[in-house]
């Protein structure tokens, strides 16, 4: 498969834990990368190489992977985490990038 599949929408209560998943065959071979995008803004890298955070990203963000599924977990979600989240990886050739359709996270 040359696709990455994400749930369109997920919600979480303030302060609770939520996982956003990304499924695709390419995830068996390549790490997932995760981006956060707020309305009217460019995406921001939050997790790379499956479970590494760039400087400035809170440690409540973490990543994991199992088989063909990668997950982004937010432990203790905050109001400012409400955003669209996109996963990304490479296709089977390794030369092209794939993006999931995005998950809209609502913090209740």
Using the rule CB under 8 A, which residue among 5, 7, 19, 45 binds other proteins?
45
3 binds other proteins (CB under 8 A): no
Place of tokens 């956060």: 36
Phi and psi angles of residue 52, each rounded to the nearest 5 degrees, phi first: -120, 135
55 binds other proteins (CB under 8 A): no
Nearer to other proteins, 14 or 49 (CB): 49
In angstroms, what is the minimal distance from the CB of 79 to other proteins? 23
Separation between Cα atoms, residue 97 and residue 92, nearest integer Å: 9
Quote the radius of gyration of the chain (alpha carbons, Å): 13
54 binds other proteins (CB under 8 A): yes
Q: 1, 2, 5, 30: which is closest to 87 by C-alpha?
A: 5
Residues of this chain that interact with other proteins (CB under 8 A) are 33, 35, 37, 42-45, 48-49, 54, 84, 86, 88, 95-102
């Amino acid at each position: 498969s040359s696709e990455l599949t994400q749930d369109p929408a997920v919600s979480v209560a303030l302060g609770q834990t939520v996982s956003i998943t990304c499924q695709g065959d390419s995830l068996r071979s390549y790490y997932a990368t995760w981006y956060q995008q707020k309305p009217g803004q460019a995406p921001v890298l939050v997790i790379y190489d499956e479970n590494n955070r760039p400087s400035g990203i809170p440690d409540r963000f973490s990543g994991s992977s199992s088989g063909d599924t990668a997950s982004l977990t937010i432990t203790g979600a905050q109001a400012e985490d409400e955003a669209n989240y996109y996963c990304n990886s490479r296709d089977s050739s390794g030369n092209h990038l794939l993006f999931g359709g995005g998950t809209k996270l609502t913090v209740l």
